[in-house]
Amino acid sequence: MGAIDDRYSYNRFGSKGQRVGQAVLDILSVPQPVQTVGDVLDSFGADFAKKMEEVINSGMKIYSPPFYVFVLTKKEFWADNVLRNYFIARQTPPYAFEMMGKYSNYTKTLYMVDGNQGNVRVLWSLPSYVDCVSIAKRPDSFDPELVKWVENCFRRKLDKDSYSWDWDVWQ
């Protein structure tokens, strides 16, 4: 093992491992190449689609249709251009208002899936709480569907035990 690798390894009290924090610090201490928003989104899209397909395939083995995929997306504040997605397959949908409280700094998106028919539908997508406040202050500056999702979240109209394929946010 080389000298650089030794900085990231530890052997303490009989437990061996790697120091992730030191690696991150080393990476962030040197200038990073400039990335455009397009570069980040291009990479993000391919990874997102691959992971979503994996979660749907595994969900089809566990849940009866329709089932739901809840995706939490978070921008990491400690690094530029780092977005993380957490995919959670579920038999029932989460309540949007409750998720807003638990995951206030995440974008929360709910998909309904019928793998037998090949259908996937976005039911709602809610930004962080701070972004929701901005949307509420200037609703005319945002997409009408996003505004309606945010309004319905805080009116608890997205807190459902199930959705139908013909459900509409405008109802």
> Are the CB atoms for 70 and 110 separated by under 8 Å?
yes
pLDDT of residue 142: 96
- Residue 129: C-alpha distances to residues 100, 125, 133 (Å): 7, 12, 6
CA dihedral sign of residues 24, 25, 30, 36: positive
pLDDT of residue 1: 43
> Are the CB atoms for 111 and 71 separated by under 8 Å?
yes
pLDDT of residue 83: 77
pLDDT tens track of the chain, all 171 residues?
Answer: 445 566 667 666 666 666 666 766 776 777 766 766 666 666 667 788 899 999 999 999 999 999 999 999 998 776 666 778 999 999 999 999 999 999 999 999 999 999 888 899 999 999 999 999 999 999 999 999 999 999 999 999 999 999 998 888 776
pLDDT of residue 47: 85
Q: Quick check: helix, strand or coil at residue 5?
A: helix
C-alpha distance across the termini of the chain, in Å: 63
